Amino acid sequence: MAIVRFLLFATLCFEVFLAGYCRNNSSRPAVVNIGAIFSLESTIGRVAKIAIEEAVKDVNSNSSILSGTELSITTQNSNCSGFMGMVEALQFMETDIVAIIGPQSSVVAHIITHVANELQVPLLSFAATDPALSSLEFPYFIRTTLSDLYQMNAVADIVNYYGWKEVTAIYIDDDYGRNGIAALNDKLAERRSRISYKAGIPPESIKKGTIMDILVKVALMEARVIVLHANPDSGLIVFSVAEYLGMMGNGYVWIATEWLASLLDSATSLPYETTDSLQGALMLRQHTPDSDQKRAFISRWDKLTGGSLGLNAYGLYAYDSVWLVAHALDAFFNHGGTISFSNDSMINSDGNLHLEEMSIFDDGPLLLKTILRTNFTGLTGLVEFDSGRSLSQPSYDVINVVGTGSRRIGFWSSFSGLSTYPPETLLKAPNRSSTHQKLYPVIWPGETLTTPRGWVFSNNGKQLRIGVPVRVSFREFVSRERGTDNAFKGFCIDVFTAAIELLPYAVPYQFIPFGDGHQNPSYTELVNLITTGFFDAAVGDIAIVTNRTRIVDFTQPYAASGLVVVAPFKKLNTGAWAFLQPFSLQMWAVTAAFFIIIGMVVWILEHRINDEFRGPPKQQVTTILWFSFSTMFFAHRENTVSTLGRAVLIIWLFVVLIVNSSYTASLTSILTVQQLSSSVKGVDSLRMTSDPIGYQVGSFAEHYLIEELGISKSRLVALGSPEAYAEALRKGPGKEGGVAAIVDELSYVELFLSSQCTFRIVGQEFTKSGWGFAFPRDSPLAVDLSTAILTLSENGDLQRIHDKWLKQSACSLDDSEIDSDRLHLKSFWGLFVICGLACLVALFIHLVQILRQLHYTNANPNPNPNPDETSSSTEARGSRMGHFHRILSLMDEKHEPSKKSKRRKVELVLDSGKDMVTRTQIATQ
């Protein structure tokens, strides 16, 4: 029975397996139909047709893929027409097509993707590069080539690599051209560059006359970097007309997108006139890694075409697109996918269009997912899609057209940027830092190796409109010449004209006055007019401040000018009490206190062992005071015996030496140098008061005082001239309507003080800024003028212009300082702290010594005590007050020195006695 059961079970399993195998075999049809749509008459279409047909042959001859299922392809010609493309796509839907390869045109792709979405048929385009064909809007659109988003990123990196800031874009005015240029504009903006002019070519009428009109306008623009994003037909006409107009010579830069590379790779030979018009141009080509498989196919291609048609990158992508479908179908069938179609309930079959013939691919979503998960190595390298449904590792060759051929000057990839090494070699160590960006030298239009500047002034007669403030005060900086409207002079004007003369090109400009001539204009409004385009630049004494740098670009500062405070001053007379001025009141108090403290500390340390510090209380107080204050002159006559006393005295004498020296130096300065005083000490003292503050009309000082320092606007008084400055300062902050001080830029203040000797700058310069010339954002002229200003500074011309217009102060008190600082306690507190610590340490050691003696006395009492003394001492030792009295008595009692000390004292007495006898004998004789 067990054997029978086993046989039945084995038979059942075999039948199940056989049924599953047969069902799997039956799910693979003998033929799978795919379609292809492209323009057979175009360069890309001719190459793609051959590549697709060869790919189908290779797939069908390869037994390792599709397992006996044959791939059949039907080709339709779209003629680059959106309508024809839609018609051909609809015809595909009547023949059970499971995938469509193509179209090559982005315009056609925009139309037929709607059909693919509705009928769930994947659309694999090997040449539609429009970045607007996104997977969100067109889920069944699969791009098997590189998106223009990457190509425009590469163009932007090239522009940034050479330091260009503005480009002109010429493009075919359709979905492909417009969306590509929009992507370029976004990528340039990320690098602080921009498209300054866009010129669209009508796709319907590509004629030389139309293109010539476009290029004439382009030639009048300032930007000389031209990006050409077109198709082969219109692109060649653009280059031909550009050569005719002289736009392929020195100073121009032409960057063509991948259309030019596909044309040159496909054409075995071009007319001399065509290649001559391309000289010096840069172009991009999709990078495909070198491999044995690619080289073998190129050799095979030459045999197929007989050398009459070259192989471009689009042909390689078309070939790989067929293999992508084959690999995906193989995996599709392995996962149980079937080829079945059903009617679309949304299609109305009424009428003569026979729309009911179209049907939905039931397993289209599964095939779509399978395609996106497929990866293999083809002629173009690794074919794999990232999370954004784009080919991974996008890269381009950067090519320079030279002579009758082209020369590769480098590569671009999304992970390493510009490099002279193939991208596949940099995958393990990608680096996009600016120091690693590199290209080989380029032969530019005009056969020059010098990198073009990328812009020139337009030759259409337009001059730069430069706004100049019409000042009514401090006219030495900038002023309108009498009897003229647009002629100006002054320090700022001379600096600007001198810098312009250093530029290697001519700059046509005209000065436009800004202001009513009655009061100084607002410089913030002047700068704002640059952003609106009313002015092309602004020249004058314009301060470079934060809120202005956010909207315009400034040149290198040509004059330093931060904010300072100007206030009236008075002379300080020395008088009878001048000797008290060197020290502040706090310094005097602390110094006097330390004299007394040191005297008391030394007395405590010397009282027990030094007879000079003993005696009646009145005498001891006199000794303390005399000793402490006599150390000021190092004239103390009392000798110190204890080690602690000597240590404290040495430190104190060092402090006294420093204090005496500082006092002497400060008093000498007070008595010999004229001192100035002002009630205003600087901007901080102004903020603490409520006094009115003056500022110059039109200056940024008003905004700074209100917004940055928080000073009320009601305290600010607008003043329009140096005379108004002087009058307001003389009146003062009282009822006469004056001001306590004026806040203005250093350059104005220096000019004001050159003729006003009763006012001075108080405090420090509290902002650091300068004057510069203002230009629109990313203006190349601002960069060139900055270089010219630096040259003026280095060769001394800037200083000579300054000396010409700005006179030096004629006041005799230029070197005087306002309110010379006294010596404060903060300058000496370290010395006093050291001295105080020495006193505390010495007193602590002295107290420890006394306590040890007290302990020794208590432990060893007198062997023959007096009964009364014994009882009283016992009572004293038994109370806290007794202990305190005992300590005081020990501190006051005489401590006998050691025998060695006595012997030395006797010797000193004898020596002094001998000396006295000798002097007595001399006096007697």
SS (H, E, C) 277-343: CCCCCEEEEECCCCCHHHHHHHHHHHHHHCCCCCCCHHHHHHHHHHHHHHHHHHHHHHCCCCCCEEE
860 φψ region: left (φ > 0), alpha (ψ -120 to 50), beta (else):
beta
Residues whose CB falls within 8 Å of the CB of residue 759, separated by 6 or more in sequence, listed in order:
566, 567, 568, 569, 725, 726, 729, 752, 753
- Summarised one tens digit per residue, pLDDT across range 659-673 is 878 877 777 766 655
Q: How high is the pLDDT of residue 627?
A: 72
Q: How high is the pLDDT of residue 816?
A: 41
Confidence category of residue 922, pLDDT binned at 50, 70, 90: very low
- In this prediction, residues 799-804 reach a mean pLDDT of 91
CA 305, CA 47: separation in Å to the nearest integer?
10
What is residue 118's three-state secondary structure? helix
Query: pTM value?
Result: 0.66
- Summarised one tens digit per residue, pLDDT across range 729-742 is 888 887 777 888 89
How distant is the alpha carbon of residue 24 from its chain centre? 62
Q: How high is the pLDDT of residue 291?
A: 93
Q: How high is the pLDDT of residue 733?
A: 84
Q: Is the pLDDT of residue 365 over 70?
A: yes
Confidence category of residue 899, pLDDT binned at 50, 70, 90: very low
- In this prediction, residues 397-418 reach a mean pLDDT of 93
- Summarised one tens digit per residue, pLDDT across range 109-131 is 888 888 888 889 999 999 999 99
Q: Which residue has the higher pLDDT, 835 or 814?
A: 835
Q: How high is the pLDDT of residue 688?
A: 83
Q: Is the pLDDT of residue 635 over 80?
A: no
Produce one character per residue of 285-323: b if its CB has 16 or more CB atoms within 10 Å, e if not: bbbbbeeeebeebeeebeebeeeebbbbbbbbbbbbbbb
What is residue 769's three-state secondary structure? coil
Q: How high is the pLDDT of residue 861?
A: 59
Are the beta carbons of 329 and 69 closer than 8 angstroms?
yes
Q: How high is the pLDDT of residue 4?
A: 40
- In this prediction, residues 237-252 reach a mean pLDDT of 94
Task: Please name which of 606, 567, 616 lies closest in space to residue 763, comparing C-alpha atoms.
Answer: 567
- State which of 5-19, 427-441, 517-531 shows the largest mean pLDDT: 517-531
CA 132, CA 127: separation in Å to the nearest integer?
14
Task: Please name which of 405, 183, 104, 110 lies closest in space to residue 279, comparing C-alpha atoms.
Answer: 405
Q: Is the pLDDT of residue 350 over 80?
A: no
Q: Token digits for 36? A: 């292809």
Q: How high is the pLDDT of residue 189?
A: 93
Q: Is the peptide bond before 103 cis (omega within 30 degrees of 0)?
A: yes
Element (H, E) at 199: strand 194-201
- Summarised one tens digit per residue, pLDDT across range 446-457 is 999 999 988 887
Q: Is the pLDDT of residue 499 over 90?
A: yes
What does residue 35 show for φ and ψ, rounded to 5 degrees? -115, 165
CA atoms within 13 A on the CB side of 8: 5
Parallel/antiparallel/unpaired status of strands 716-719 and 509-514 = unpaired
- State which of 534-543, 760-769, 857-866 shows the largest mean pLDDT: 534-543
Confidence category of residue 844, pLDDT binned at 50, 70, 90: confident
CA 716, CA 733: separation in Å to the nearest integer?
12
Q: How high is the pLDDT of residue 283?
A: 97
CA 628, CA 597: separation in Å to the nearest integer?
8
Q: What is the average pLDDT value for the chain, to the nearest integer?
A: 81
Longest CA–CA span in the chain (Å) reads 162
Q: How high is the pLDDT of residue 871?
A: 46
Q: Token digits for 732? A: 């003062």
Q: Which of 258-267, 584-593, 598-607, 748-757 has the lowest mean pLDDT?
A: 598-607
What is residue 573's three-state secondary structure? coil
Q: How high is the pLDDT of residue 484?
A: 75
What does residue 885 show for φ and ψ, rounded to 5 degrees? -65, -35
Q: How high is the pLDDT of residue 677?
A: 57
CA 459, CA 456: separation in Å to the nearest integer?
9
CA 325, CA 378: separation in Å to the nearest integer?
12
- In this prediction, residues 462-470 reach a mean pLDDT of 90
- Span between the terminal Cα atoms of the chain, in Å: 162
Confidence category of residue 16, pLDDT binned at 50, 70, 90: very low
